[in-house]
Amino acid sequence: MVGDVEHAFSYRDPSVVARRARLKLACNLVSLALAAALIHWLQRNLGDYPLRILNLAAINVILAVSLNLIYGFTGMFSLGHAGFMAMGAYVAALLTLPQATKDVIFLMAPLAWPFNVLSAPPLVAVIAGGLVAGVAAFLIGLPVLRLRGDYLGIATLGFAEIIRVVANNIPSVTNGALGLKGIPGFANNLWWTWGWAAFTVWFISRLVSSAHGKAFLAIREDEVAAEIMGVRVTYHKTVSFVTGAVFAGIGGALLGSLTSTIDPKTFGFMLTFNILIIVVAGGLGSITGSIVTALLYTVLLEALRPIEAGWRLGPLVVPEIPGLRMVVFSLVLLVIILFYQRGLFGGREFSWDWLVNRLERRARATTRGETPSALRARQPEPYRPSTRADTRDKSMSHGMGQAASGQGGTNDDRDALTDEAGRDASGQQSKLT
Amino acid sequence: MTWVVFLQNVANGLSLGSLYALVAIGYTMVYGILRLINFAHGDIFMLGAYALFYLVLVFTLPWWVSFAAAIVITAIMGVLVERAAYRPLRNAPRISALISAIGVSFFLENVGLVVFGGRPKPFAVPQFFTQDHSIGAVRVMNLTWVIPLLSMVLLLGLTYLVYRTKAGLAMRAISYDMETSRLMAIDVNKTISLTFAVGSALAAAGGIMWALKYPQINPLMGIIPGLKAFIAAVLGGIGSIPGAMLGGFLLGIMEIMLVAFLPALSGFRDAFAFLVLIVILLVKPSGLMGQEVKEKV
Amino acid sequence: MAATDVLRLDHVTMRFGGLVAVSDCNLALTRGELVGLIGPNGAGKTTVFNVITGVYRPTQGHVFFEGRDITGMRPDLVCALGIARTFQNIRLMKSLSVVDNVLIGHRCHLRSSLAAAVLRLPGYVREENLLYEESLRLLDDLGLLRYKDAPAGSLPYGEQRRVEIARALATRPRLLLLDEPAAGMNPNESQALVRFIRDVLARFDLTILLIEHDMSVIMEVCDRIMVLDHGETIAEGTSAEIQANPRVIEAYLGVGYKHAGNY
């Protein structure tokens, strides 16, 4: 079977594959360098308020991408994200609060051991927050991941609420309803927040474009068939759920540091819902979509603040109404969901293919003395369905949305078909008809 | 714990349970027909209480008239919500309708905050309800027995509607198969509107009685009772009306008993409801009175 | 029951509440055989498949695969042992590409760990490339290479069935269960399917159990046929024996038909 026969012919030219990979790596490194320069400039020159918005945007990216992994890619409708955020936030806060603050703020009950002696640098604290959330997710997942669709949603919602109520009721650890104040603001730094966001995106996109990621998609599409085809469903669901929770915990930890206060009310269902909106509006199964939409969402929410101040529209005078922007915002979101059901990106993902393809064609053309368009004309035509076939399956028994084609990695890459061979099977004798 | 105290707790539990039952029915009916968890239902509950509040404040009608009027107004609002936010999404993926429901809930709460103001308002409770009444050695407020009684009347009315009228038959038919019901000349849109109207009316009654029991209303008052009523519906078997009633009473009694026997844990009463939810989902996801639906491979 | 039995069902009974879907089914397949499983709708044929693949645990009885008791084993473990199947209603992952669907079949043989996948360690990359090549080769062998990047749901129906078979073959099975592969096909396509099944049997060294309603396919291609009706086995034998069996005729055509002397 595999490996025991040396193929005289391979479907892909290894040198082309390698070259494409190198090109893409170069593109990524260049953009990383540009981004770093941009962050450096922004951190230097922007005021506190815009910086805070950008930091918040990065945290929303982390939260959205992690929920997208659980729901968009694996199809698990989890409404418990805020619970994991809460765990990460509390753990990180308790580890980074200065001892002096700890002594002062715990009014309801003195801080219990070991939290009153434990302390850690911010990096360790954030990682610890993520890991604790991950462990919780593992334990919660054991019973809960058997459920499907709506039931999974309400079970995870239930757990998140339990976590919140518990946080409210163990003042010796969480300071109850008073919450924790004076959390050090290490996250008030674009390098920190966007660094973590970059790591989240890198990790999750790597996970999703790997063979394991295909298993996630298979589970999303048809869990029963996937299991019969050899996919270890429970294992992969757990991996997806726990990974998403770890990053939610990291996001929560950063959020706590950015806002410097946390209390159980922060981590209610509304928070999960906002992240869910970002994920759905950006496109289930599209990491690019989550990133862009998280940015847009954060910026727009702030941009709507002036609505609350009171304004005139000709003869109409609207008085100052605090909270109005949330009303407007929820209306806008409703409209988006009503009319734009597949989300902004609908499962498509950004990749460097367009650039690499163009560069390759140019390179190949020059070596053969052809123009790129002539070269394109000679390429074999891949199959394109004649009508825009309806790939939606209306009989999905577990009530999920029609997630779009989650093409994780790009197929162009894995192709790298050489043009000499022109391996188009349509022109070739089929061996089995 | 003495017998007297125990009985008082039972009375309390029945009271609370009947409120949960009233609200749970709305959830279960909507889920049975549309397979949608109507997250906005808890806010309809809240609107009922506010409707009565303003009716009493603005018009000096007898209390019972205001009560009826408030219920009617809230029922209309429930129908409007369905028309605006759910009907356009009837053929959309289910996640869209769910998000729409959450969005409506969000919207109603924020509009409430803006229009009614975030500060809790005191709810005027007629004298009759706060008077004490003795049944043997047990002293209870009139309210404590009025609530279950009134709820019973309403539930009986609902049972009659669902099981003895053509409209109710239509509702049940649609919950089995919407397409076929259409073919059988059932006006699906009207029936769904009726379902929402009835569910919202019951929720309004529940909201008003809740406000009588805990006489402070605020725009976010529907969130926790709504969630608990939903849990009650799941406990009894979502989609099953008798299940919703059973679940409501069970949850109410369990909650009161928890607080009565373990007062130290009373802060966790909300978490307890969620624990019940998780246990039932793991043990029998279709609920106490629900039916298992096996997936055909 | 010979020791070379690839598959053996021993007194398998499957009850769903009051409904008996399969009653006392006894089946033995030797290596290389192509056995047909026929019967009217609702006879319990797909239920037998579901019991074999571990979707259901039989109420009574045992399933043996290559001598090993796999009764009620988890479906993915059953697949890892070497049993693959297709479905009556095509269950492809419709929004994934064709090659991704086949890859899913292959990836149950992936050895690398999750960490290796995320870090893209050389061992993992090599394995992934090999599996991708395998998938392409399988598609090429089945004449499906041109569809490789198309969403599986956009293919013509007949091609979708072949992709499903490709996906099943990708798991490197020794026993292949085909559930009504000829459903919805015209006579030409059915003939092509017959040739296809024979080819697959020979090339991949398989044993095949085939559910079908299309008699032309069954009679041409099967070594042996088993007939189910209302969960019970009512006949077993070669195609000639089955065609002459009165109980089979009665089950398929009805008692009245027989009495009218029309056969």
HEC string for A193-260: HHHHHHHHHHHHHHHHHCHHHHHHHHHHHCHHHHHHCCCCHHHHHHHHHHHHHHHHHHHHHHHHHHHC
Q: How far is CA B119 from the centre of its chain?
A: 24
Which chains share 3+ C-beta pairs under 8 angstroms with B?
Answer: A, C
Report the residue of chain A nearest B91, measured CA to CA. Answer: A394
pTM for the complete prediction?
A: 0.85
Residue C224: its H or E element? strand C224-229
Strand partners, C227: C38, C235
Query: How near does any CA of chain C get to the CA of A243, in Å?
Result: 12
A15 touches chain B (CB under 8 A): no
**Which amino acid is located at C21 in the chain?**
A
Per residue in A25-50, pLDDT (tens digit) is 888 899 889 999 998 888 888 888 88
Put simply, the answer to whether C55 touches B294 (Cβ < 8 Å) is no
Report how far residue A189's alpha carbon sits from residue A104's, in angstroms, rounded to the nearest whole number: 27
Pick the range with the lowest mean pLDDT from A170-179, A216-225, B20-29, B48-57.
Answer: A170-179
Q: Nearest by CB to C93, from A7, A217, A230: name it.
A: A217
Domain ranges of chain B: 3-283
What is residue A388's predicted lDDT score, i.e. its pLDDT?
Answer: 40
ipTM above 0.90, yes or no: no
Contact B294 C50 (CB under 8 A): no
pLDDT digits (tens, 9 = 90+) for A183-232: 898 888 889 999 999 999 999 999 998 888 899 999 999 999 999 999 99
Q: Is B278 on the interface with A (CB under 8 A)?
A: yes
pLDDT category of residue B103 using cuts at 50, 70 and 90: confident
Which positions in chain C touch B293 (Cβ < 8 Å)?
none
A68-A73-A78 Cα angle (round to 5):
55
Q: Provide the pLDDT for residue A406.
A: 30
Return the CATH class of domain B3-283.
Answer: mainly alpha
Number of residue pairs across A and B with CB atoms under 8 Å? Answer: 109
Q: What is the DSSP letter of A53?
A: H
* C50: nearest CA partner in chain B: B297
Element (H, E) at A160: helix A149-169
Q: Mark yes or no for CB contact C87/A12 under 8 Å.
A: no
Would you state the pLDDT for residue A425?
30
Would you state the pLDDT for residue A1? 36
Rounded to the nearest angstrom, the gap between the alpha carbon of residue A286 and the centroid of all alpha carbons in its chain is 8
In chain B, whose CA is at the least distance from the CA of C49?
B297
Nearest CB to B268 within list A143, A147, A169: A169
Of A72, A6, A1, A17, which is closest to residue A413 (Cα–Cα)? A17
Chain C residues closer than 8 Å to A2 by CB = 109, 130-131, 134
Contacts of A224 in chain C (CB under 8 A): 55, 91
- Cβ–Cβ below 8 Å for B297 and C55: yes
What is the per-residue pLDDT across A232-261, written as a single tens digit (0 to 9) for each?
Answer: 999 999 999 999 999 999 999 999 999 999
pLDDT value at residue A378: 52
Name the pLDDT band for A418 (thresholds 50, 70, 90): very low
Cα torsion angle, B135, B137, B139, B144, sign: negative
Measured between beta carbons, the chain C residues lying within 8 angstroms of A357 are: none
Say if B292 is an interface residue toward chain A (CB within 8 Å): no
Among C133, C53, C178, which Cα is nearest to A1's? C133
Of B103, B230, B275, the CB nearest to A162: B275
- Which domains does chain C possess? 1-82+173-263 (3.40.50.300), 94-170 (no CATH)
* pLDDT tens for each residue of C69-113: 999 899 999 999 999 999 988 899 988 999 999 999 988 877 777
Q: Give residue A381's pLDDT.
A: 53
**Cα–Cα distance measured from residue C55 to residue C180, given in angstroms and rounded to the nearest whole number:** 18
Average pLDDT over residues C50-58: 92
Measured CA to CA, the distance from residue C253 to residue B32 in angstroms comes to 41
Residue C6 is inside which H or E element, if any? Answer: strand C5-16
Please tell me if residue A67 touches chain B, with a CB cutoff of 8 Å: no
Please enumerate residues of B whose Cβ is less than 8 A from a Cβ of C. Answer: 294, 297
Give the separation between CA A102 and CA B189, rounded to whole angstroms: 59
